[in-house]
Amino acid sequence: MKNMDVSAIKDGSVIDHIDSKSTLKVAEILNIQQEEQVVLVGMNLISKCLGKKGIIKIGGKSIAQKEVNKIALIAPNASVNIIKDYEVVQKFKVKVPDVLEGIVKCFNPNCVSNHYAVHAKQHVINKNPIKLKCHYCERIMNAKDIILI
């Protein structure tokens, strides 16, 4: 965690290597406006692999798997760092799961999942670029069609 453009946090989570343009979307997924502790959002930081990257640091927050799955859809290169006492105690790259449940809304207005109290469900048929197939109506969704629940 050297060469940081924003200050370090004592305990919490850092989402790094976000594709810069997706930073605010990731912030939305993490619902940062509800946080009480320190939140730092950085955009257009220099990155060796991405050119420009975004970074989000949230004090006191431990990230839920569902949030990780959502971030993976929006920022497939992102990595998550869990911080304890200014040290990274855990670090992992986000990973798109094979099946998404209750995460993405089916874009087909005639899909049964948009009419009854059914958990939307998609099978991930390609991870990069992302391609999802609705479990119910079988329509294929690309990145541009993805609306998170």
Partner 1 sequence: MANFIQRDIISIRDFDKDGLLYLLDLAKRMEQTDHTGLLKGKVLASLYFEPSTRTRLSFESAMKRLGGMVIGFAESGITSAVKGESLADSVKIIEGYCDIIVLRHYLEGAAQLAADVVDIPVINAGDGANQHPTQTFLDMYTIQKTKGTLEGLKVGFLGDLKYGRTVHSLAYALAYFDAEMYFISPPNLRMPMDCIEELNNRKVKCYENETLLDIAEELDVIYCTRIQGERFADPVEFEKVRGTYRLSKSFIESLGVKEDLKILHPLPRVDEMDETLDGTDFAVYFQQARNGIPVRKALLAAVLGAVE
Where on the chain is the footprint of partner 1 (CB under 8 A)?
106, 108, 110-113, 115-118, 134-140
Closer to Zn ion by CB, 5 or 138: give it: 138
Sorted by sequence, the CB contacts under 8 Å of residue 105 that are 6+ apart come out as 113, 114, 120, 147, 148, 149
> With CB cut-offs between 5 and 8 Å by kind, which of partner 1, Zn ion, none does residue 43 bind?
none
Taking the least distance from each CB to Zn ion, the nearer of 83 and 111 is 111
Q: Please report which residue ranges of 2-75 form alpha helices under DSSP H.
A: 23-29, 65-74
Residues near Zn ion (CB under 5 A) are 106, 108, 111, 134, 136-137
Residue 35 CA to its chain's centroid (Å):
17
59 within 8 A of 38, measured Cβ to Cβ = yes
124 binds, options partner 1, Zn ion, none, Cβ within 5 to 8 A by partner type: none
